[in-house]
């Protein structure tokens, strides 16, 4: 199984570590790949030549670049009621897909929108119906470009108060006939509702990529502090997860995305020691 690490734990949100350092770190940890972040180690205005150089360096080091991620959509949403904000999010999305193509990445992590951002009260709530309609329209507009660039638009299940259950996800994704539209499934984000295996069994081949982390529920559900700093501790049953992935023939990326909100208000990223520890635990889970 292809095992990778997301950049945020290693390099933080501001890009203090270069893509080349991240690739070298992956070599030192003997993992298969890395997930760069646009807005972090990859700037949105990056030229094609630099992307090609990064891709060539990764290939030279035998480090995969199968997925990229971004936190851009939490600040600029495709489903905002502000038309100018939606337009800016679309502009970014087109550049995001282009960067993926230049890096020879197969899948981008995509946040379709948010009815509410629960940890940011400054973000205005939007009705579920509007999020459905705005996000559907945005994806339909982006599909031709994704197909032309040969990049998957993989929608992540995040705490955006939109698309809660696996059946909602199935119904939503089936609106799009393009094979380039699918899901970026986070096995911990769903634990507040259902165990990850329930999603995999229902969504099957729609899952393009998977984020690996863990979550511990409390008080009938739990909050951000449930995302711990130990990949092996929490509600995810990795034994069951391995079996259901095998049964469903999943061969996509398995990328550890450890953001230890359990340490708030003292959380500090980057955390290279935690990144190294997470890589080793990822390898023990999916050996």
Enumerate domains of the chain plus CATH numbers.
Answer: 3-285 (3.20.20.150)
Question: Alpha-carbon distance 24 to 2, whole Å?
Answer: 17
The answer on pLDDT for 153 being more than 90 is yes
For residues 8-23, give the mean pLDDT: 97
The two tokens of residue 156 are 């992540």
What per-residue confidence (pLDDT) applies to 220?
79
Q: In the predicted model, what is the mean pLDDT of the chain?
A: 97
Quick check: 170 pLDDT over 90? yes
- Mean pLDDT across 220-226: 88
State pTM to two decimals: 0.97
Residue 178 contacts residue 143 (beta carbons within 8 Å): yes
Report CA torsion sign: 182, 46, 7, 27.
positive
Per residue in 99-135, pLDDT (tens digit) is 999 999 999 999 999 999 988 988 899 999 999 999 9
Secondary element (H or E) of residue 238: helix 238-247
Residue among 137, 193, 138, 182 nearest 160 (CA): 193
Three-class SS state of 107: strand
Average pLDDT, integer, range 48-67: 98
Q: Are 177 and 144 in contact (CB under 8 A)?
A: no
Give residue 184's pLDDT.
98
Residues 213/281, Cβ–Cβ less than 8 Å = no
pLDDT tens-digit map of 172-214: 999 999 999 999 999 999 999 999 999 999 999 999 999 999 9
Alpha-helix residue ranges (DSSP H) falling in 67-181: 83-103, 128-149, 166-173
Residue 221 pLDDT greater than 90, yes or no: no
- 219 pLDDT more than 90: no
């Amino acid at each position: 199984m292809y095992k990778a690490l997301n950049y945020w734990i290693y390099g933080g949100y501001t890009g203090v570590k270069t893509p080349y350092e991240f690739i070298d770190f992956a070599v030192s940890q003997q993992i298969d790949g890395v997930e760069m972040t646009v807005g972090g180690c990859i700037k949105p205005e990056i030229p094609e030549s630099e992307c090609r150089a990064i891709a060539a360096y990764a290939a030279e080091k035998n480090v995969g670049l199968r997925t990229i991620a971004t936190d851009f959509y939490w600040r600029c949403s495709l489903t905002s009621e502000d038309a100018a904000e939606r337009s800016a999010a679309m502009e970014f999305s087109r550049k995001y897909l282009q960067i993926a193509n230049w890096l020879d990445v197969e899948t981008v992590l995509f946040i379709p929108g948010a009815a509410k951002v629960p940890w940011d009260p400054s973000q205005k709530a939007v009705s579920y119906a509007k999020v459905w309609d705005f996000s559907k329209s945005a994806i339909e507009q982006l599909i031709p470009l994704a197909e032309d660039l040969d990049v998957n638009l993989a929608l992540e299940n995040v705490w955006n108060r939109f698309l809660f259950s696996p059946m909602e996800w199935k119904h939503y994704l089936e609106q799009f006939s393009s094979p380039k539209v699918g899901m970026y499934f986070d096995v911990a984000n769903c634990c507040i509702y259902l165990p990850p295996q329930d999603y995999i069994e229902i969504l099957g081949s729609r899952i393009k990529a998977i984020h690996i982390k863990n979550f511990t529920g409390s008080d009938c559900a739990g909050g951000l502090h449930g995302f711990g700093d130990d990949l092996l501790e929490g509600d995810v049953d990795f034994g069951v997860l391995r079996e259901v992935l095998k049964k469903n023939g999943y061969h996509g990326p398995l990328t550890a995305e450890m953001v230890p909100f359990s340490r708030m208000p003292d959380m500090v990223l980057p955390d290279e020691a935690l990144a190294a520890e997470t890589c080793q635990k990822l390898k023990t889970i999916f050996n």
